[in-house]
Amino acid sequence: MKMRVMENDKFVKDSRNFAILNTDRSVLREHERKLAQLERQKAQEEEINNIKNDVAEIKAMIAQLLESN
């Protein structure tokens, strides 16, 4: 059973484990949006790091080719 919290009607208290839960869906959507944005940012950073590593490998290969000639 969930009971309203008197100080704020956007929160309810679970009577079984006494957890306070936020019922404001817009806050949840904003949180999910931020999480998705962070995931996109992490993926972009990983891709940039992969490209940097590839460029470093290419530079090393070119240097090896130039040394052998």
Tell me, yes or no, whether 20 lies in a domain: no
Give me the pLDDT at residue 14, please.
84
Tell me, yes or no, whether 54 lies in a domain: yes
The token duo for 36 is: 């998705």
Domain count, the chain: 1
The pLDDT tens digits along the chain (69 residues) read 677 776 777 888 888 888 888 888 999 999 999 999 999 999 999 999 999 999 999 999 999 999 997
Of 4, 63, 24, the residue nearest 13 (C-alpha): 4
Give me the pLDDT at residue 20, please.
83
Prediction pTM value: 0.63
Give me the pLDDT at residue 8, please.
76
CA dihedral 4, 9, 13, 15 (to 10 degrees): 10
Domain residues for the domain of 32 are: 25-69
Tell me, yes or no, whether 11 lies in a domain: no
Tell me, yes or no, whether 5 lies in a domain: no
Tell me, yes or no, whether 39 lies in a domain: yes
Tell me, yes or no, whether 3 lies in a domain: no
Tell me, yes or no, whether 63 lies in a domain: yes
* b/e sequence 2-28, b meaning 16+ C-beta within 10 Å: eeeeeeeeebbbeeeeeeeeeeeeeee
